[in-house]
Structure 1
Amino acid sequence: MASINKKRDSRKAVQQTGWITLEGGFAARPCVVLDLSASGAKITLQSAQALNSKLRLAFSRDARNGRDCEVVWRRGSTLGLKFTT
């Protein structure tokens, strides 16, 4: 049986304000990006319970400059995101 070597991309702690937009949505919600890598990010929100699994993360309110993401884990108001684009 072959073992799969899953090496994580190097993460950088950023503590930066970001904006998420739900798929197909227009209203940007603020978040804090805790860390960032080439493949994803860890963010925290005031309220994460009403989020879909697909969203867009940007560093400005203009979501056109962001990246599409998929939520891969949730721990309270903290989410792990995987970039899909």
Structure 2
Amino acid sequence: MKVSREPRRQLNNRLAWITVDDGATENECAVVDISPGGAKIITEVSFDVTDRLALVLLADHSKRYACEVVWRRGKTYGLKFVVAEPEAEPAEEPAAEPVSEPVSAA
């Protein structure tokens, strides 16, 4: 019987970049480990829990991973990757029925 396990974290300790303020501010960080659901980073920048930021894993790469800070211990932070929820499509309004003019009897 095969046991189902969660995906393993990859231990990296590699250089990455975090951006805040919609990309206006960029700072270096070290990715300690990463998994499909999040990452653990070390940085000199201070964040509060529930702060949102973007993580860039490759220099000169446009792919940014939206993250939320879920815990902190000193300069080490736990990030959860945030998946953008698809926007709900507006409900269709029922088609207007044609208004009939009253017919006058002549």
What interval of TM-score do these two structures reach, taking the shorter chain for normalisation?
0.7 to 0.9
Give the total of aligned pairs.
79
Question: What TM-score results when the alignment is normalised by the length of structure 2?
Answer: 0.64
Offset at residue 47 of structure 1 (A): 3.0
Conserved? CA contact 2:72–2:78, under 8 Å: yes
Distance 1:56 1:50, change over 3 A: same
Conserved? CA contact 1:28–1:63, under 8 Å: no
Q: Which amino acid aligns with 1:28?
A: E
Percentage identity across aligned positions?
A: 37
Distance 1:82 1:52, change over 3 A: closer
Question: What TM-score results when the alignment is normalised by the length of structure 1?
Answer: 0.77
The alignment partner of 2:32 has SS state of strand
Aligned twin of 2:58:
60
Bigger share in strand: 1
The unaligned stretches of length 5 or more in structure 2 are: 84-106
CA deviation profile, 1:31-85 (whole Å, cap 9, x unmatched): 0000000000000002325787100000235573120000000001000000003
Q: Which has the larger radius of gyration?
A: 2
Conserved? CA contact 2:27–2:45, under 8 Å: no
The unaligned stretches of length 5 or more in structure 1 are: 1-6
Aligned twin of 1:74:
72
